[in-house]
Structure 1
Amino acid sequence: MKKHINITIILLSSLLTLVSCSEQDFLKEERKDAFTTENAFLNKAQFETLLASNYRLIQEIYNSGDVDSDVWALGLGTDVCFWPLGDDRVYNDWSLVNPFDTYTDRWVSWQYQMIRNSNTVIDAAQKEGVAWNSDAERDATIAEGKFFRGFAYRNLANIFGGMPIVDSPVTSAKVDFVRNTREECWEFAKKDLEFARTNLNTTAKYPGKVTKAAADHLLSEVNISLKDWDGAIAAATRVIDGTDGDYKLMTGRFGTRKNETDKGKNIYWDLFRMGNQNYETGNKEAIWVAQFEDNLNGGTVKSGRPIVERTWWNRIWLFKKAGYTGVASDSTGRGASFVRPTTHANYTIWNNTGNDLRNTEAVIKRKFYFAKDVAPYFKGDLIPKSFLTTAADSLQNVYPNWSKFGTDKHIGGIPDNGYIRDFYVIRLSETYLLRAEAYLGKGQKDLAAADINIIHTRAQSPLITGTDVDIDYILDERMRELLGEEWRMLTLCRLGKLYDRVSRFGYAPAKNSIQLKNNLFPIPQRVIDGNVGAVIKQNPDY
């Protein structure tokens, strides 16, 4: 069943090929057998195939490029991580961010593809002649379309502010889109997510499908953006209290490697072992999980290579100065140090956290050892900080490896392509942090602290009081719990905190180049230039 969503995605490519071919046949006189949107979606299976294209886009967001491109939404150049291979790269140097930036351009493209697919589903599902088994089945299908449309507008509004709202299929050339306000986009997303949370299923048909809980989680965040604190609290509470399904934080060891106890391996380590991400296999804090498969066409999207370990982990295997041969092994992984967590993420946020399970050696590996005798050191000796004498030594070869991004036991023992796990899009701990943020917005700091303490209790971290809670504390807690999971760029931009956090906690070149205008990103110039029938105004100072 786990492979179902990827197989559906493969079938989708055949459907799109048929639609494309039919559109080229418009000169033919005989049209009664043509495959069009009027007769293509006549039963539930056909809608599932179209919706699969949106799940494919989620896969692409996580794994469609190489180097650092897939980390952009996760916070490249912010307070959480940076590109360590050169200071002159965009998002190390924020002055290079402009309307021609390819990362933000593809972000817009993905969201409007999602909106296009969703509008087709919503519109076609309401047409006469569709063979629904029940009204509930129809409404659940429409709800899935509205979920993705609301999700896409949240993704656009958080980053760019207002963008054009397209609420129905575009069936002819249109070049006069008008930019809506940010608040209008959030309100539009809210309306879609309200419908989705009412009509989606409580349980998923198979791993990766969205449910009521996913809709309420996003609804909570959108309500926070609109400063509807009570609405945000209510939506998050429906996820937390069981209204939307039986979700809870995992507190005991579980999954494929639960019997390993060395080096501080614990529940948090278990969350990121291969095979452990889905609710259907026992992980009750998994609300929405992007699916990836080994040895299945399309299962990893980008050339069959799962780049998460390659992207985030250091190059210890290349560190010949410390006795390494330059050949990766199963135990070391094959990190390429394309992205390095900041000093704030690796060290500062762990001050005063006691014996937090999220900061054990197994969860964040900080100790690396000589592979051969290197006088005056011997094989197996700990590499000391004093040995790291060049920038490359500490920026590329030796820095903490977070276990959520890699493994010491790869599929087939192959370190280059052997770490393929599913990706959390939404995990329950973030729902608690959203509710804490809403309580903070409402001025109920003690209740915010209580939600954070639920996460601390699982992590065996010291408990806090309401006096400890402000937005910086919540953002640091999100980093401790969700680094590399939350879409940090979206979080900081919706809060208007990107400039502030980068200027205080970012990598030095980013600190020195970030500007207030970067709290919103530039509208891609391609979008502005192509909309010749109306003016789409650029964000200020770009």
Structure 2
Amino acid sequence: MKRIYIIGIIFAALTSCSDFIEEENLSSESAETFYVTPEGFNSLVNANYSQLRDIYGDTPWLYIGGTDLYSKGRGRGPLGLAEYTDLNSTSSDVDHLYNECYEAIQLANRALYYSEITEQTAELSTLVGEVKFLRALSYFLLVQTYGGVAITDYYDTPVLEFDRNSAEEVYQQIITDLEDAIANTADGAYTGRVNKRAARNLLAKVYLTRGYEDFGTPSDFDTAASLADQVIGGQALNLPFEEVFAPGNDMNEEVIFSVQFSPNSISADPDGLGSRQYAYFGSYLGGSEVQGQAPARDYSACPTNFALGLFSKEDSRWEGTFMTEIFYINTDDYTGPSYFTYYRVPKEDHDNLVVNEFYEPQWFTEADSLNYVSTNLLAPDFKYHRWGEYSSEWTDQVSLDYEVICVKKFDDPDPETAFGGRSSTRDIFLARLAETYLMAAEAYLKAGDPATGLQRLNVVRQRAGVADATLAEFDIDFILDERARELFGEYHRWFDLKRTGKLVERASLYNAQIDEANFNGVNALKILRPIPQQALDLNQNNDFPQNPAYN
């Protein structure tokens, strides 16, 4: 491997390590003396895990922006990533994954360097396997987003010039790291740390994604299918969909890997260190979270009409994903809409609550509408949101509070953590069993065995309560629709569309804010994000290429 580094990233990584040691190393030892102890090396590995919060805990635009499912609402997300107009190397948020993933990679490289000189313990090889998984995850995010990037080693002095490895080389590095992780990490149930199952699951997705590349091979899909089946291991989807996301149930049996949060982990800076996943995907809910009755909402990433229209009456994921009713309360302390009453009152008593907002599903008939209004207790300012009048498209006509339906999957109703701008302590699921079934479905389809792929997909549909799909309708578009229903709001969509070659087609067809012409770059389509300008400016290698759409 070449010793090639980005000076700005080097300083960011050094700052991160320093901050972590200041917090954890109360004896103020130097890195050279601290990391060679079991305590010090463990703290360095923990710093690698902590970096996941910076990669995933903040803005979601590189994961979900510019797709068929989400478009800009009243909050107006970054124009380049959301619409592809004026997308360039200095566009807002383009540099997020580039900076945070390289910071993670440098933390991992530092841990791997010290693993060879630290005190050798029985758990050392396991910790090394965990670090290699985390490095592989960062490289995988980078190569999907930007294409080929620099593969770096551990550094002890800044290097001002670096080259760009090919995407094929980056994939090989990822695979090597994940194979090592599988060989060395622990087996058994998920406890919040990387284990063999999480490593196999990520490797399955890596092979699935590489199979679409021009340097991929058909055997990549076979390998992906086999790995996904190993991860599934005969485990059924035993939990009701809504229970998978129930507050307080973040470590349920279907979670394979997640970004971990806790009150203690964000106590130093709750608004800066918590997860913002709950804050996106819906409209404002009454201003500054009226007296603790509602969560903060960003109102910038809202569901499209297409996304909302994917759900049918029988699909339990509709109610499991969206907050379709918001209740009204009248107490000595507060009178008005109360989003969190949904959680504070047992579900069996919801029929006795007064409704303030209702979002009509697409399958409602006029008789259904009249029946709902006549059989429910309605607030003085009750608002009935008709189908087609609460999506991101609707914000172009009406831009008031409560005008867009909210995603509830990630809600944090704990009064101790729910009311800051970034203060949720809910974990972010990066891998869960239902998605592994859908990965297997896609891999088998691409490997030429659609019958087996269909079986995997129908396991997910059966849990949702909808009819089995048929071979006649089973194709990539059907899989993408199923992934949308199952994974709405989770951080996969842009990667799903890019992987399958459907980004331009589906984003321009189903997102009213995107025209197909928006994808036209200088010399290519904008199906990779641009290398951030700061990285180019800091690099003294003037031959380092920008991605072709932005030259």
**Is this contact kept in 1: 2:88–2:530, CA < 8 A?**
yes
1:310 equivalent to 2:282? Answer no
Structure 1 residue 345: Cα displacement: 1.3
Query: Partner of 2:124 in structure 1?
Result: 138
Query: Partner of 2:415 in structure 1?
Result: 411
Query: Partner of 1:26 in structure 2?
Result: none
What SS does structure 2 have at the residue aligned with 1:103? coil
Query: Partner of 2:180 in structure 1?
Result: 195
The counterpart of 1:288, out of the listed 257, 267, 272, is 257
Cα distance change of structure 1 residues 428 and 421 upon mapping to structure 2, 3 Å threshold: same
Cα distance change of structure 1 residues 18 and 454 upon mapping to structure 2, 3 Å threshold: closer
The counterpart of 1:339, out of the listed 301, 314, 317, is 301
Query: Partner of 2:318 in structure 1?
Result: 359
Cα distance change of structure 1 residues 327 and 46 upon mapping to structure 2, 3 Å threshold: closer
Cα distance change of structure 1 residues 512 and 343 upon mapping to structure 2, 3 Å threshold: farther
Query: Partner of 1:263 in structure 2?
Result: none
**Percent of pairs with identical residues:** 26
**Is this contact kept in 2: 1:314–1:401, CA < 8 A?**
yes
1:457 equivalent to 2:458? Answer no
**Is this contact kept in 1: 2:200–2:227, CA < 8 A?**
yes
Superposed CA deviations along residues 309-358 of structure 1, whole A, max 9, x for unmatched, are 3332322435xxxxxxx8636554443412211112122x22xx440110
Structure 1 residue 276: Cα displacement: 0.4
Structure 1 residue 50: Cα displacement: 0.9
Q: Compute the RMSD of aligned alpha carbons.
A: 3.4
Query: Partner of 1:79 in structure 2?
Result: 68
Q: How does 1:155-304 map to 2 (within 5 A)?
A: 155-166=141-152, 168-203=153-188, 207-227=191-211, 228-241=220-233, 248-251=236-239, 267-278=240-251, 283-294=252-263, 297-298=266-267, 302-303=271-272
1:52 equivalent to 2:21? Answer no
Question: What amino acid maps onto 1:124 in structure 2?
Answer: Y
The counterpart of 2:105, out of the listed 112, 115, 124, is 115
Question: What amino acid maps onto 2:38 in structure 1?
Answer: K
Structure 1 residue 296: Cα displacement: 5.2
Cα distance change of structure 1 residues 298 and 470 upon mapping to structure 2, 3 Å threshold: farther
What SS does structure 1 have at the residue aligned with 2:202? helix
Q: For residues 44 and 155 of structure 1, what CA distance do their matches in structure 2 show?
A: 30
Query: Partner of 1:67 in structure 2?
Result: none
What SS does structure 2 have at the residue aligned with 1:96? coil
Question: What amino acid maps onto 2:304 in structure 1?
Answer: T
**Is this contact kept in 2: 1:162–1:181, CA < 8 A?**
yes
Query: Partner of 1:256 in structure 2?
Result: none
Structure 1 residue 496: Cα displacement: 3.4
**Is this contact kept in 1: 2:71–2:303, CA < 8 A?**
yes
Q: For residues 420 and 438 of structure 1, what CA distance do their matches in structure 2 show?
A: 34
**Is this contact kept in 2: 1:186–1:225, CA < 8 A?**
no
Cα distance change of structure 1 residues 16 and 517 upon mapping to structure 2, 3 Å threshold: farther
Structure 1 residue 152: Cα displacement: 1.2
Superposed CA deviations along residues 10-48 of structure 1, whole A, max 9, x for unmatched, are 9973526899x99xxxxxxxxxxx8344x4322433222
Structure 1 residue 541: Cα displacement: 2.4
Q: For residues 112 and 416 of structure 1, what CA distance do their matches in structure 2 show?
A: 28
**Is this contact kept in 2: 1:77–1:92, CA < 8 A?**
yes
Number of residue pairs aligned between Structure 1 and Structure 2: 473
Q: For residues 382 and 17 of structure 1, what CA distance do their matches in structure 2 show?
A: 49
The counterpart of 2:473, out of the listed 463, 468, 471, is 468
Structure 1 residue 449: Cα displacement: 0.9
Cα distance change of structure 1 residues 176 and 337 upon mapping to structure 2, 3 Å threshold: same
Query: Partner of 2:483 in structure 1?
Result: 478
**Is this contact kept in 2: 1:143–1:199, CA < 8 A?**
yes
**Is this contact kept in 2: 1:313–1:405, CA < 8 A?**
no
> Which is worse superposed, 414-423 or 337-346?
414-423
**Is this contact kept in 1: 2:83–2:513, CA < 8 A?**
no
1:35 equivalent to 2:37? Answer no
Cα distance change of structure 1 residues 344 and 222 upon mapping to structure 2, 3 Å threshold: same
Cα distance change of structure 1 residues 248 and 116 upon mapping to structure 2, 3 Å threshold: farther
Structure 1 residue 464: Cα displacement: 0.9
**Is this contact kept in 1: 2:48–2:131, CA < 8 A?**
no
Cα distance change of structure 1 residues 119 and 482 upon mapping to structure 2, 3 Å threshold: same
Question: What amino acid maps onto 2:156 in structure 1?
Answer: T
Structure 1 residue 96: Cα displacement: 2.0
What SS does structure 1 have at the residue aligned with 2:489? coil
Structure 1 residue 93: Cα displacement: 3.4
Q: How does 1:433-444 map to 2 (within 5 A)?
A: 433-444=438-449
- Return the TM-score normalized by structure 2: 0.77
Cα distance change of structure 1 residues 35 and 215 upon mapping to structure 2, 3 Å threshold: same
Structure 1: runs of 5 or more not aligned: 1-9, 23-33, 65-69, 252-266, 319-325
Superposed CA deviations along residues 427-469 of structure 1, whole A, max 9, x for unmatched, are 1111111111111111211111111111111111111122222
**Is this contact kept in 2: 1:158–1:491, CA < 8 A?**
no
**Is this contact kept in 1: 2:49–2:134, CA < 8 A?**
no
Structure 1 residue 61: Cα displacement: 2.5
Q: For residues 181 and 506 of structure 1, what CA distance do their matches in structure 2 show?
A: 32
Q: For residues 129 and 529 of structure 2, what CA distance do their matches in structure 1 show?
A: 30
> Which is worse superposed, 115-124 or 88-97?
88-97
Cα distance change of structure 1 residues 141 and 483 upon mapping to structure 2, 3 Å threshold: same
The counterpart of 1:104, out of the listed 94, 98, 122, is 94
Q: For residues 230 and 481 of structure 1, what CA distance do their matches in structure 2 show?
A: 24
What SS does structure 2 have at the residue aligned with 1:111? helix
What SS does structure 2 have at the residue aligned with 1:274? coil
Question: What amino acid maps onto 1:63 in structure 2?
Answer: G
Structure 1 residue 402: Cα displacement: 1.9
